[in-house]
A and B are shown apart, each in its own frame.
Chain A
């Protein structure tokens, strides 16, 4: 293994050393990859527009969430313990919020409610991290994922968000529900992850 390391590094050095004029790192402006250059005064509004375009569902009030979940009789789910205290009273008594995700019963949870670390207005993307997400499985396995977001945590664009990746070992950008087009190019949502991606604005 360490022999492989020395051998690979030697081969790389030989190959690179033989290049007469190695290419310089090019100069490029931060905004190069940003496609939406409008000034975003209201980042939440811009984020909602993009999230909706990618089949996500922005909600501003927990009552709206309760109403949506009741429509499908999704009353049993997982909830981040820190959010359960606030949400349980608003959602009402017909909801059961489990505060530990039991992997052996993963199909019992119809929804999972967790914290979002942030969002990206330009692309309608939610950001979840190990630091803020109480359970990776709870945010992934149930059919509905509800990411709770504070409006101050919305980045303008992907460049700004990439600059703020920080030192969390697991940062995930989620842009819409899990999907595939493997079968004849036909779009199907809800493959391994959620079929419904909700973003609930926290007060």
Chain B
């Protein structure tokens, strides 16, 4: 993995990409605010309750997993377990081969991105086609999603129109409506040709074994109307105890993700199609995916497993807005990604240990989170872990000298006052790599060390003089 510090990535970002990411995330934030605060006098109460329900579920996950498994089997669902990403991919491949299937249509799923399912299936001769418009465009561009909910937030219509032209989907036309219609025409044939529909899962209810999926486009519903076999890849943290919890979580998810009371299509799927229904899967498989979630469950960062993938923390984050999702070098970008990606990386933690540092800890991500994840606290815990494990982050200058200086007040004062000499030095010429990198995108402010001490001293003198007069 090429390690490029986020600030450098951000500095080199094309203006049109930065504008697209900024505008897209800012509007997402505004819509969320309107939907939540317009509808509820105290949306915080909903967030806290949802967070507590999720925390409870995680801390009793053994019970709920067994309950969900038993209920799903009772409903006629074939349940599979996958300890890691490879096992998850293998499980999908096995179901495909058992049924002689060579192609599938796929609805957007972060879990399958995480385990790189599409690449795996293609290597084994299976065509896997994304049907969400944004994900479809990502796939034909051989790109990666840069946002959890809006995968092509970094693209503009011109680029998309060129991609469609290149792929033979019509002459150049950059009208969003034309782009959408062309995808509609192309993809509806593909649904009908595929024997298998593959989805993720937004929630899995333990008491009923119900898998809940939400989409606005209706692509997952089309996958499940046209194909014979449904495979769902679901992280084990997606559980909710009861059906009753759904009204709370669905309302929070829709509002937090896209500012909607409810996503257009909310599907509650508890098994293969009904006997008299002519369309839809006759087999339903659920693959319960661990892939280091149990490892996270055993750490002091387990709160991150509450995440319902709404993307609100990305939209509000000043770092995400400037840097874009690709700066995070992993499947999960933004504040949630800065916590989750290093945790899910296993022994490759050091490669992503700089992500938790790319935050001002402003706390906005925590405030907007529909399940109230204390993301800034978790970022600090991961910074601490990196320090304890002696991980060196790229781009971080050596701070040992600074640390000695800061612990000796006399020396500190002298350096503060004497540092003014820096204003007359050509700092960009100093042969310190970290300083050079840092300065490539920034300018040091003028050194003003000692000024405040002088000011406060004078101020105090003036105060006491005035006090004397009174």
Given A35-B251, A133-B277, decide whether A177 and B264 contact each other with a Cβ distance below 8 A: yes
A171-B267 in contact (CB<8A): yes
Total B residues in contact with A, Cβ cutoff 8 Å: 97
Total A residues in contact with B, Cβ cutoff 8 Å: 77
B62-A188 in contact (CB<8A): no
Given A8-B81, A9-B66, A25-B53, decide whether A35 and B264 contact each other with a Cβ distance below 8 A: no
Choose from B56, B187, B263, B298 the contact partner of A14 (Cβ within 8 Å).
B298
| B40 touches A (CB below 8 Å) | yes
Q: Which residue of A lies closest to B39 (CB)?
A: A35
CA distance in complex: A133, B273 (Å)? 11
A170-B216 in contact (CB<8A): no
| B98 touches A (CB below 8 Å) | no
CA distance in complex: A107, B221 (Å)? 17
Q: Which residue of B lies closest to A31 (CB)?
A: B247
Choose from B53, B66, B218, B246 the contact partner of A140 (Cβ within 8 Å).
B218
Smallest beta-carbon distance A126→chain B, Å = 11
Q: B254-262, B374-382, B399-407, B432-440: which lies at the A interface?
A: B254-262
Smallest beta-carbon distance A6→chain B, Å = 9
Contact flags B234-252 to A (C-beta < 8 A → 1, else 0): 0010000101101110111
| A184 touches B (CB below 8 Å) | yes
Choose from A103, A141, A175, A181 the contact partner of B262 (Cβ within 8 Å).
A175
A32-B56 in contact (CB<8A): no
| B448 touches A (CB below 8 Å) | no
B156-A184 in contact (CB<8A): yes
Smallest beta-carbon distance A145→chain B, Å = 10
Complex interface: chain B residues within 8 A of A161 (CB): 247
Complex interface: chain B residues within 8 A of A60 (CB): none
Given A140-B221, A185-B23, A192-B188, decide whether A32 and B290 contact each other with a Cβ distance below 8 A: no
Complex interface: chain A residues within 8 A of B82 (CB): 4
| A26 touches B (CB below 8 Å) | yes
Q: Which residue of A lies closest to B45 (CB)?
A: A32
Choose from A13, A122, A182, A193 the contact partner of B218 (Cβ within 8 Å).
A193
CA distance in complex: A25, B265 (Å)? 28
Choose from B56, B131, B184, B298 the contact partner of A25 (Cβ within 8 Å).
B56
Complex interface: chain A residues within 8 A of B156 (CB): 184
Q: Which residue of B lies closest to A5 (CB)?
A: B81
Complex interface: chain A residues within 8 A of B355 (CB): none
Complex interface: chain A residues within 8 A of B160 (CB): 183
CA distance in complex: A182, B271 (Å)? 30
| A86 touches B (CB below 8 Å) | no
Given A123-B262, A136-B279, A165-B210, decide whether A179 and B59 contact each other with a Cβ distance below 8 A: no
Complex interface: chain B residues within 8 A of A2 (CB): 81
Smallest beta-carbon distance B398→chain A, Å = 37
Smallest beta-carbon distance B165→chain A, Å = 15
Q: Which residue of B lies closest to A179 (CB)?
A: B216
A190-B184 in contact (CB<8A): yes
CA distance in complex: A33, B91 (Å)? 37
Contact flags B49-70 to A (C-beta < 8 A → 1, else 0): 1001101100111100110000
Contact flags B192-226 to A (C-beta < 8 A → 1, else 0): 10000000000000001010000011110110111
Smallest beta-carbon distance B263→chain A, Å = 7
B262-A193 in contact (CB<8A): no
CA distance in complex: A23, B226 (Å)? 42
Choose from B91, B177, B236 the contact partner of A188 (Cβ within 8 Å).
B177
CA distance in complex: A194, B216 (Å)? 11
Choose from B56, B187, B218, B262 the contact partner of A26 (Cβ within 8 Å).
B56
B62-A178 in contact (CB<8A): no
For window 169-187 of chain B, which residues contact chain A by CB distance below 8 Å?
A: 176-177, 179-181, 183-184, 187
B277-A32 in contact (CB<8A): no
Smallest beta-carbon distance B462→chain A, Å = 54
Choose from B52, B66, B258 the contact partner of A23 (Cβ within 8 Å).
B52
| B329 touches A (CB below 8 Å) | no
Choose from A15, A35, A122 the contact partner of B294 (Cβ within 8 Å).
A15
Smallest beta-carbon distance A147→chain B, Å = 13
| A16 touches B (CB below 8 Å) | yes
| B80 touches A (CB below 8 Å) | yes
| A40 touches B (CB below 8 Å) | no
CA distance in complex: A88, B181 (Å)? 31
A173-B49 in contact (CB<8A): no
B261-A137 in contact (CB<8A): no
CA distance in complex: A169, B284 (Å)? 11
B65-A175 in contact (CB<8A): no
Given A4-B81, A162-B243, A180-B133, decide whether A101 and B180 contact each other with a Cβ distance below 8 A: no
B224-A136 in contact (CB<8A): yes
CA distance in complex: A107, B189 (Å)? 10
Complex interface: chain A residues within 8 A of B75 (CB): 169
| B4 touches A (CB below 8 Å) | no
B279-A137 in contact (CB<8A): yes
Choose from A18, A22, A24, A106 the contact partner of B188 (Cβ within 8 Å).
A106
| A11 touches B (CB below 8 Å) | yes
Between-chain CB contacts (< 8 Å), 13 pairs: A11-B290, A13-B62, A135-B277, A141-B188, A158-B247, A165-B243, A170-B224, A170-B269, A172-B268, A183-B133, A183-B179, A183-B180, A191-B180
Closest 5 CB pairs of A and B: A193-B218, A11-B294, A35-B39, A136-B225, A130-B274
